[in-house]
Structure 1
Amino acid sequence: MSKTVLITGANRGVGLALTVAYLEAGWQVYACCRDIASASELTRRQNIFPHLTIVELDVTDHEAILHLAQSLEATNLDLLINNAGYYGPKGYGFGNTDADEWRRVFEINTISPLKITEAFYPQLKQGSPGVIACLSSKVGSMAENTSGGGYIYRSSKAALNSVVKSLSNDLLPEGIIAVALHPGWVQTEMGGPNAKISAPIAAKGIKQVIDNLTVADSGLFMDYQGNYLPW
């Protein structure tokens, strides 16, 4: 019996690469994106993989999240990957932080992963129970922050790490594993052309890390190579 995963932000970058990696491994994949009409790279995979279901979802629309969860009420989820993310403005410095953009980044990077997890908790509980993997970033690490700046994105990922830690404490008694994963510096629209690794390499590493997770890893912060990162 094939396993099932739901992935947010699946239309490009690491999310698309993860979608392909799980499809190639024979998983049933529910791939979420904000606008199906503009997700050509994702939709063309439907002709190749019959076990791909594409779902239109704005991760900041909490009613839509609940509606989707209700429509998949009978689906057991082995894995939930909260991948959708937004960097926000670049190049600003201290004294020039856009508070509206900060709120938007937090809504997508921090609040949405928790709301999606809450909505799909019943399906995850039925899964194995399941795994919750939240795509974080090393720049959210307090210990690794030696250069300053990046107030908006850094703080959203530090807060996401805190969400993951709480999820691990709340859900581990039921066997549900929650982890924060750093995909590396990836050549995506967010990571830019100077990044060190491609999205498929990051996705392959992330999948391998997830495949090898144990309950002892729940609540931890790891990179795509399986290295543990400091909070």
Structure 2
Amino acid sequence: MLTVLVTGASRGIGLALTESLANRGDVVIATCRDPDSATELQALAARDDIDIDIVRMDVTDFASIEAAREEIGDIAIDVVVNNAGVIGPERQSTLDMDFDGWRACFEVNTLAPLKVAQVFLSNLRLAEHGRILTVSSRMGSLSYALSDKIAYRSSKAAVNKVMQGLATDLKGEGIAVSVCHPGWVKTGMGGQGADMPADRSAAGLTRIIDRMRVADSPRFYNYDGSELAW
């Protein structure tokens, strides 16, 4: 049984991953910006046969991350999953960029995952084999040279590099760090024309969590467990 913290747990992949982990007996700390409006997450957490603790946390507000850490306290957390993310502004090409929207995209997709990892590092150090998994995207791979959604792509390329660096810095402590591509998923971000339902992606991410080892850190995983080029 693991204790897993999931950001952006109120919908989409985060909600599906929370359910996947809880259904197999893991304790899930499900964080989201507004627990009061997270009706699906609340309904899931109300089940008697699973263990989900909902915690308010806005990943763009560093004070909110610190407050969530204070609420959770000094418990061992086996896995931190940086799932919260945004697609970015409507205008995001190299020829027509909403720069304010690009900056906001980086705040969620790049800065926040590192801040969450730093704030909860003391909890990960209490676990036997701490793990940090950041939900990235194949669209951030430098070997995947398309130019649409460039704000999103660049934020994911950046977080990949950040997590590479974090993996290097934490390897000596036995904490594994990797990133993953969740697939093209039918969510509010992915749209209904996507390839797969969220529960299929979540099942794949759950298997990745189980296989993460510091000796293999860092890796860029596809949702099916195969490796992708950075």
TM-score by length of 2: 0.96
CA distance in 1, matches of 2:174, 2:63: 28
CA distance in 1, matches of 2:198, 2:190: 10
Any residues of structure 2 matched to 1:168-183 within 5 Å, and which?
168-183=167-182
Which residue identity does 1:84 align to in structure 2? Answer: A
CA contact (8 A) 2:83 2:135 kept: yes
Deviation at 1:64, TM superposition (A): 1.4
Structure 1 segments of 4 or more deviating over 3 A? 90-94
What value does the CA root-mean-square deviation take over the aligned residues?
1.2
Deviation at 1:91, TM superposition (A): 5.9
CA distance in 1, matches of 2:67, 2:53: 16
Deviation at 1:92, TM superposition (A): 4.7
CA distance in 2, matches of 1:183, 1:139: 11
Which residue identity does 1:67 align to in structure 2? Answer: A
Task: Summarize the Cα distance change of 1:163–1:93 in structure 2 as closer, same or farther, 3 Å threshold.
Answer: closer
Which digits, 9 at most, give the CA deviation of each residue in 1:165-187, with x for residues without a partner? 01110001110000001000001
CA contact (8 A) 2:92 2:151 kept: no
SS in 2 for 1:124: helix
Which digits, 9 at most, give the CA deviation of each residue in 1:124-145, with x for residues without a partner? 0111231000000000001012
CA contact (8 A) 2:93 2:147 kept: no
CA distance in 2, matches of 1:71, 1:208: 29
Residue 107 (structure 1) aligns with: 107
CA distance in 2, matches of 1:33, 1:158: 24
Number of matched residues?
Answer: 229
CA contact (8 A) 2:130 2:174 kept: yes
Which digits, 9 at most, give the CA deviation of each residue in 1:14-62, with x for residues without a partner? 0000000110011111101111122111000122145111011110110
Identity of counterpart residues, as a percentage? 41
CA distance in 2, matches of 1:28, 1:79: 11
Residue 201 (structure 1) aligns with: 200
Say if 2:6 is the partner of 1:7: yes
CA contact (8 A) 1:129 1:174 kept: no
CA distance in 2, matches of 1:124, 1:106: 25
CA distance in 2, matches of 1:202, 1:46: 20
Residue 217 (structure 2) aligns with: 218
SS in 1 for 2:189: coil
Residue 40 (structure 2) aligns with: 41
CA contact (8 A) 2:92 2:150 kept: no
Which digits, 9 at most, give the CA deviation of each residue in 1:186-230, with x for residues without a partner? 011111111101100000011011111222321111111111111
Which residue identity does 2:134 align to in structure 1? Answer: C
Q: Which sits farther off after the overlay, 104-113 or 29-38?
A: 29-38
CA distance in 2, matches of 1:171, 1:205: 25
CA distance in 2, matches of 1:158, 1:225: 20
CA distance in 1, matches of 2:155, 2:89: 13
Q: Which sits farther off after the overlay, 69-78 or 116-125?
A: 69-78
CA contact (8 A) 1:4 1:28 kept: yes
Which digits, 9 at most, give the CA deviation of each residue in 1:114-163, with x for residues without a partner? 00100000000111231000000000001012x22321000000000011
Say if 2:127 is the partner of 1:135: no
Which residue identity does 1:217 align to in structure 2? Answer: D
Which digits, 9 at most, give the CA deviation of each residue in 1:64-104, with x for residues without a partner? 11122123232100000000000012465332100100111
Any residues of structure 2 matched to 1:53-202 within 5 Å, and which?
53-90=53-90, 92-145=92-145, 147-202=146-201
CA distance in 2, matches of 1:38, 1:66: 22
